[in-house]
């Protein structure tokens, strides 16, 4: 139960909240602190009921499983961030920094770093 609540809190952090139906059962959460409090209470209850040795063995086993799956978990998080960025991100260079990066990349792609300024040739002073 504790692990499920921690995963629920992680899902809320990543997605901002979720709501799903599994047949007649509705699963939803939009509150990270509540999920973490329930996880802590479930872990505390498990420690009291099952005894400390069993909880320690479960913790060691979960650490081993997590270490073995770390690269897959990292890849899944990268994929989730990529999908979130593609869905929620903007597709324009709307700020000064972003416009500068895009225009510089365009200049590099065109093999020149000079920007023509036609107005400069129309001014009356020398070396405009």
Rounded to an integer, what distance in angstroms lies between the CA atom of residue 52 and that of residue 64? 18
- DSSP at 115: -
pLDDT of residue 55: 66
Residues of the chain with pLDDT under 50: none
Q: Please name the residue ranges forming H helices in the chain.
A: 2-15, 32-50, 52-68, 70-88, 96-109
- pLDDT tens profile 88-99: 877 776 777 888
pLDDT score, position 69: 92
- pLDDT score for 58: 78
User: What is the per-residue pLDDT for 53?
Assistant: 66
pLDDT computed for residue 96 by the predictor? 79
pLDDT at residue 118 in the model: 83
């Amino acid at each position: 139960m504790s692990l499920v609540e921690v995963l629920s809190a992680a899902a809320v952090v990543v997605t901002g909240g979720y709501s799903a139906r599994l047949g007649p059962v509705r699963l939803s959460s939009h509150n990270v602190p509540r999920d973490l409090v329930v996880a802590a209470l479930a872990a505390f209850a498990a420690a009291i009921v099952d005894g400390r040795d069993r909880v320690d063995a479960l913790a060691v086993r979960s650490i081993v499983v997590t270490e073995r799956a770390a690269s897959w978990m990292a890849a899944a998080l990268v994929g989730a961030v990529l999908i979130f960025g593609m869905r929620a991100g903007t597709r324009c260079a709307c700020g000064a920094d972003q416009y500068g990066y895009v225009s510089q990349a365009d200049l590099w792609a065109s093999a020149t770093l000079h920007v023509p300024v036609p107005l400069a040739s129309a001014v009356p002073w020398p070396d405009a």
